[in-house]
Amino acid sequence: MRRRGGSAIISKGQSLKTANAALFGNIERTYGVLAGVLLAIWGMETGFGASMGNQNTVSAIVTLAYDCRRLQFFAPHAIAALKLVDNGVLSARSVGAMHGEIGQTGFLPGNVLKYGVGSRNMRDTSTALMSTANFLGAHGWRAGGGYQGNMGAIAGWNSASVY
């Protein structure tokens, strides 16, 4: 089965893995998450940061919480977005994807609060990748389990079949 943008993601991912070898080594030592998984998420979600969205984050997530069939899903993220504004992580003018996702790997605001590390600035590549690894760890990632042994953690990030 062909995967969306697979060859482009693989090619760019290989060069980014080499260019950021120290970062990926540190993440694997700290969180046990393989570089390939992080590169796949980064590539699939934002094209390695090339397309992080242009929608007002607070407006998008609050609108989804107010007028959406998934109110129970989006309401906590709307509150989290407001907390991130209070904490200076986001501003009222911050932009992201259509459904409120922010940064290099497309974090929802509630997940930034729960799993974000350091500055929680998801536009910063290192922070976003470490936070993504932290998220995967909290969702059952087992070091040494490889990709197949960690599909549940990957599905926790995104259960779409393209992953």
User: pLDDT tens across 117-151, in order?
Assistant: 999 999 999 999 999 999 999 999 999 998 889 99
* pLDDT reading at 68 higher than 80: no
Residues 6+ apart with CB under 8 A from 78: 61, 62, 64, 65, 66, 100, 109
Q: Higher model confidence: residue 69 or residue 104? A: 104
pLDDT score at 36? 94
pLDDT score at 4? 52
pLDDT score at 5? 65
pLDDT tens per residue, range 8-23 = 788 899 999 999 999 9
pLDDT score at 7? 83
> How far is Cα 145 from Cα 14, in angstroms, rounded to an integer?
21
pLDDT band at 70 (very low <50, low <70, confident <90, very high): confident
